[in-house]
Amino acid sequence: MDTLVGGVNPLKCGASSLDGSTAYLLKQREFGMCTNSGPFSTGQRNSIGAGFIPNRMETVAAYGEKVFCGTFSKDGSVFLSSSQDDHIRLYNTSHGSFTEKRCITARDVGWSVLDTAFSPDGTCVIYSSWSDFIHLVDISSKGEESHMALDLSPLERDFAIFSVVFSHDGKEILGGASDCYMYIFNRERNQRTLMMDAHEDDINSVKFADESSHILYSAGDDGVCKVWDRRILDEEDPQPVGIFAGHSDGITYIDSKGDGRYLITNSKDQTIKLWDVRKFSSSEGLESTRRAITNYRWDYRWMSVPKIVRNCRRKLKGDTSVMTYRGHNITKTLIRCRFSPVHTTGQRYIYTGCGTGAVIIYDILSGNMVAKLIGHKACVRDVSWHPTDVRIVSSSWDGHVSQWDYQGSDHPQDSDSDSEYETGHSGGRLVIINVNGVRRKSKRLKQQDQARHKRHRPEEAPSRSSL
Please indicate, yes or no, if residue 27 is contained in any of the structural domains: no
State the average pLDDT over residues 168-193.
96
Kindly give, in sequence order, each residue whose CB lies less than 8 Å from that of residue 299, ignoring residues fewer than 6 positions away. none
Domain hosting residue 242, numbered range: 53-437
Say which residue, 389 or 447, is predicted with more confidence.
389
Compute the distance between CA of residue 277 and CA of residue 29 in angstroms, rounded to an integer.
39
The number of folded domains in the chain is 1
446: in domain? no
Q: Report CA-CA distances (Å) from 311 to 57, 302, 306.
A: 31, 19, 9
2 falls in which pLDDT band (50, 70, 90)?
Answer: very low
Q: Residue 110 corresponds to which amino acid? A: G
DSSP letters, 148-210, are: EEEE---S-SS--EEEEEE-TTSSEEEEEETTSEEEEEETTTTEEEEEEE--SS-EEEEEE-S
Note the pLDDT tens digit of each residue in 200-244. 999 999 999 988 889 999 999 999 999 999 999 988 899 999 999
pLDDT band at residue 260 using 50, 70 and 90 as cut-offs:
confident
The span from the CA of 269 to the CA of 271, in Å, is: 6
Q: How confident is the model at residue 323 (pLDDT cuts 50, 70, 90)?
A: very high
Q: Is residue 120 part of a domain?
A: yes
Q: List pLDDT tens digits, range 274-301.
A: 999 999 999 999 999 999 998 888 899 9
Is residue 451 in some structural domain? no
Could you tell me which residues come within 8 angstroms of residue 49 by beta carbon, excluding any fewer than 6 positions away? 343, 344, 345, 346, 390
CA dist 54 and 346 (Å) reads: 16
Q: How confident is the model at residue 313 (pLDDT cuts 50, 70, 90)?
A: confident
Residue 195 lies in a domain: yes
Q: pTM, whole model, 2 decimals?
A: 0.84
In the structure, what pLDDT confidence band is assigned to residue 409 with cuts at 50, 70 and 90? low
Domain CATH number, residue 320: 2.130.10.10
Cα 51 from Cα 345, distance rounded (Å): 8
Residue 100 lies in a domain: yes
DSSP codes, 254-268: EEE-SSSSEEEEEET
> What is the per-residue pLDDT for 310?
83
Q: Which pLDDT value is given to residue 42?
A: 77
Return the higher-pLDDT residue of 258 and 42.
258
In a domain, 17, yes or no: no
Percent of the chain scored above 70 by pLDDT?
A: 81
The pLDDT value given to residue 357: 96
3-state secondary structure of 242: strand
H-run or E-run covering 345: helix 342-345
Q: Alpha carbon of 48 to those of 24, 400, 413: distances in Å?
A: 11, 31, 18
> For position 12, what pLDDT does the model report?
37
| Predicted pLDDT of residue 16 | 34
* Cβ burial, residue 311 (10 Å; 0-12/13-18/19+): exposed
On average, the pLDDT of the chain sits at 84
Does residue 62 fall inside a structural domain?
yes
Choice between 373 and 456, residue whose per-residue pLDDT is larger: 373
The Cα 464–Cα 467 span in angstroms is 5
Query: What is the residue type of 235?
Result: E
